[in-house]
Amino acid sequence: MFEFIKTVLNTHDLLYACYGIRGEKLNLTNLLTIIALVLTFIALLIVAYQTYLTRKSLILAKNSIDDDRKIRQMELLPNAHFIFEVQWRLEEWIRDIDGSTKALQEAITTKNIELLKQISKNSREDPKGLVDRFLYEKGPRWLSATWLAAAQYYYSFKGSLRLLWNDSKNEPNWYFAQDLIVRGRNHSRHISNLLGYIDQTVPESYAESPASISDSKFLSD
């Protein structure tokens, strides 16, 4: 094999092009070096082409995802009022958790017993009513499931705040305070993630459209 390649490459023109010396014989080392360079160049071309194909595939996939999202957004527009309601509820829960977590951190820092007692009184004993039954049953199933998951996080935090105060002894339970701060931050983050999924379902231009006039007024008789 090597002898055949040497025969093909051992021409005056190629030798002159490679070394600038007419008539010089190629030895095996030089021959292998040339072959290695050629193979390396071919490999680089293959890698570059594969990179081009991968990038093109990613662009096509992104465009396909964007198109699918737009289609889903348009299909969900008739149910947009359900989505807006759930968005508002989740945003309220996030603000409530963040506010309680901040107040709890302040109570720990200042050793404010009265503040800790007030936070404990703001706990929620019963999860009933966190999710509106009508909206839950009539809204899109994925939205209802998302809402219920967020409610689980919210109640897990709010329901645990009562642990901060021992009513029978009328004294604070500082032991639970730091753990509840961690729980509040984690649950707020999870609800924010769920809210992020919902925020992508309605086009921004539709969500920001003026609503001062009833829709029925735009319809012909």
Look at phi and psi of residue 126 and say left if phi exceeds 0, alpha if psi is from -120 to 50, else beta.
beta
- Note down pLDDT in tens along the chain; length 221 residues: 444 344 444 444 444 444 444 444 557 777 778 888 888 888 888 888 888 888 887 877 776 655 555 555 555 555 667 888 899 999 999 999 999 999 999 999 999 999 999 999 989 988 999 999 988 888 888 889 999 999 999 999 999 999 998 888 888 888 889 999 999 999 999 999 999 888 777 666 555 566 655 555 555 56
The CA-based angle 164-166-172, given to 5 degrees, is: 55
Residue among 175, 181, 180, 166 nearest 117 (CA): 166
Nearest Cα residue to 22 out of 34, 33, 11, 8: 11
- SS3 call for 13: helix
Q: Are 157 and 184 in contact (CB under 8 A)?
A: yes
CATH class of 79-207: mainly alpha
pLDDT at 11: 41
H/E/C letters for each residue in 117-174?
HHHHHCCCCCCCCCCCHHHHHHCCHHHHHHHHHHHHHHHHHHHHHHHHEECCCCEECH
